[in-house]
Amino acid sequence: MLSATGLTCVRGERRLFSGLDLAVGAGEWLHVQGENGAGKTSLLRILAGLAPAAEGEIRWHAEPIGALAEEYRRHLLFLGHHGAVKEELTPLENLTFSARLDGASLAEAEALQALARFGLRGREDLPVRFLSAGQKRRVLLARLAVRKAQLWILDEPFTALDVKAVDMLSRLIIDHVGSGGSAILTSHQSIPLPHGRALRL
């Protein structure tokens, strides 16, 4: 589904990687590994179409993503270092807004259910700034649960999560990949998920 050929990334005067090829099909996921500063985040941002590659081409179902533009983004879910969670808004408001941004409308019941699933019951109407770092990440996970996208690109999704939440996220990814989705993620720890392939930068 997603394939990239000859990707090169230059940051300032430093060449982070060059001639990188990768492909992720339906029901597969890719674990991008590498040391700090190896260009993991840069790679994910290039794959999401946020930053241009210095060289190389990325195709989604054999079409260049630049030409697909909004059509590609409809199938894409990208979570970066910053979770796009507003401190002043409640988890419910955050979740509803990101669903709108994704071009979907989310019924309140469905949103509440997703939040409850990630242990945020009773905190739906509390501004996020009163939540702990881990709970903030859980608001993000709720978004993964409600968003229907074929391709997930997740940058360090396991950061700041407790054991229980790591478990829930793993299950989400397994379900997603199991139902024919694809995922690309970075993580420092090894991920106990089947059907994974590793890419070392």
What residue spans of 32-154 are helical by DSSP H?
40-48, 65-68, 70-74, 91-101, 108-117, 133-146
Say how many CA atoms lie within 13 Å of 92 toward its Cβ: 14
Closest to another protein by CB, 117 vs 136, is: 136
Task: Name the strands in the sheet holding 63-64, side by side, starting at the edge strand that comes first in the sequence.
Answer: 14-24, 2-11, 55-60, 63-64
Closest to another protein by CB, 83 vs 177, is: 83
Q: Cβ 46 to another protein, closest distance in Å?
A: 10
Closest to another protein by CB, 75 vs 117, is: 75
The site for another protein (CB under 8 A) is made up of 12-13, 48-52, 70-71, 73-74, 76, 78, 80-89, 93, 97-98, 100-103, 105, 127
Q: Cβ 94 to another protein, closest distance in Å?
A: 9
Q: Cβ 116 to another protein, closest distance in Å?
A: 23
Q: Cβ 30 to another protein, closest distance in Å?
A: 19
What residue spans of the chain are helical by DSSP H?
40-48, 65-68, 70-74, 91-101, 108-117, 133-146, 163-178
Say how many CA atoms lie within 13 Å of 179 toward its Cβ: 10
Closest to another protein by CB, 78 vs 118, is: 78
Q: Which candidate, 111, 141, 140, places its Cα nearest to that of 124? A: 111
Q: Cβ 107 to another protein, closest distance in Å?
A: 15
Amino acid at 85: V
DSSP class of residue 150 equals S
Residues 6+ apart with CB under 8 A from 44: 32, 78, 80, 153, 155, 184, 186
Closest to another protein by CB, 13 vs 200, is: 13
Q: Cβ 99 to another protein, closest distance in Å?
A: 9
Closest to another protein by CB, 31 vs 74, is: 74
